[in-house]
Amino acid sequence: MRFTLNLGKRVPEDGNRPLTYREAAMQLVNYAKEMGYTHVEFLPLAEHPFAPSWGYQVTGFFAPTHRFGPPQDFQYLVDTLHQHGIGVIIDWVPGHFPRDCWALAEFDGTHLYEHADPRQGVHNDWGTFIFNYGRNEVRCFLTASALAWFARFHIDGLRVDAVASMLYLDYSRKEGEWIPNQYGGRENIEAIEFMRHTNDLVHKYFPGALTIAEESTSFGGVSKPTKEFGLGFDFKWNMGWMHDMLEYFRLDPIYRKYHQNTLTFGMLYQYSEKFIQVFSHDEVVYGKGSLIMKMSAGSMTEKAGSLRALYTLMWGWPGKKKPLHGGRLRAVLRVVLRPQPGLAFASIP
């Protein structure tokens, strides 16, 4: 079982600076041991210019961000976690990159890493460029980035972000805004081959390493080996399960009996992939509310009861688990059941 975090905790006593890799090491060890976690998953730590992006708009695909210290200190963090039996997974973002002219965008004055045609090379939702996976040099660059994080920093796994946006040429595009593949289909054949090749090399050079897909569609064979014509990932995030569970637990308990199909639907496809049951950070950012505030209306004690039931269901569901960072029930219950004087429930993150 693992938990995800954004390595950006602040130190108010020292100018509100972030914790360094070295300072975070033992804090993470102590917390993971207390909560019984086996792995830590970091939101992207590759270098990026815009901190509010949480690292998802990468410009330095081989370098840990300087915000928390030099690369040697990140190696120290990984080594410290390993010494205490805790695995390390990082988010990796090969699906797009920002338009900063000093980075990869129009690298040599031409569209070197991205497609020239915006119908292929621009991600409209994020305002970023899409890699041209049809170029050998681009595929080698990205694959080398994946391998470097294992070789240089001894991580245990990669969680690959936004796989769905790489799989489909029409992802988040209207009719006429995309170009079909050579067979007239919507699948991005070059991106699929890139993922299959990268997964094969990771598993070849680093036996036991994990690759995990954040894939939100019903694309088949994401976690099947490439020799069985799959994408070669070890696990796939179960995004459908997450959305169904949150929809169910938003309902007042008196109405839930009419929506049991929402609760049980996930078992129809549970064994089609090697799923990880997750609660994604995307569900709580930008004012969407914390998990406890997503529970059905009622008192905070009743919301805590619903959240406790949700986590109990998650723990009993087949597959691996990845709770949301900041959403662990123990921390929530400390606030709900033992509120401090003057603490408003609305202040719960």
Amino acid making up residue 319: G
- Rounded Cα distance between 234 and 168, Å, is 21
For residues 129 and 90, the answer to whether their CB atoms sit within 8 Å is no
Distance from C-alpha of 15 to C-alpha of 18, rounded to nearest angstrom: 9
What is the token pair recorded at 321?
A: 């688990």
Query: How far, in Å, CA of 193 to CA of 166, rounded?
Result: 11
Q: Are 348 and 284 in contact (CB under 8 A)?
A: no
> Using an 8 Å Cβ cutoff, are 324 and 4 in contact?
yes
Look up 200 and say whether it is catalytic: no
Q: Which of 211, 81, 88 is nearest to 143 (CA)?
A: 211
Outline where DSSP puts E strands in the chain. Answer: 2-5, 10-11, 17-18, 39-42, 46-47, 60-64, 87-92, 122-123, 128-129, 157-160, 210-213, 235-238, 275-278, 320-322
Task: Measure the CA–CA gap between 348 and 308, rounded to whole angstroms.
Answer: 16
Among residues 161, 244, 273, 283, the one annotated as catalytic is: 161
- Catalytic annotation on 161? yes
Q: Which residue in the list 41, 114, 214, 244 is annotated as catalytic?
A: 214
Residue 116: CA count within 13 A, CB half-sphere = 4
- Cα dihedral sign for 235, 158, 190, 120? positive
**Euclidean distance between CA atoms 95 and 335, whole angstroms:** 39
Residue with tokens 């890493």: 113
Residue (of 207, 259, 197) closest to 230 by Cα position: 197
What is d(CA 75, CA 153) in angstroms, rounded to the nearest whole number?
A: 5
Which residues are identified as catalytic?
A: 161, 214
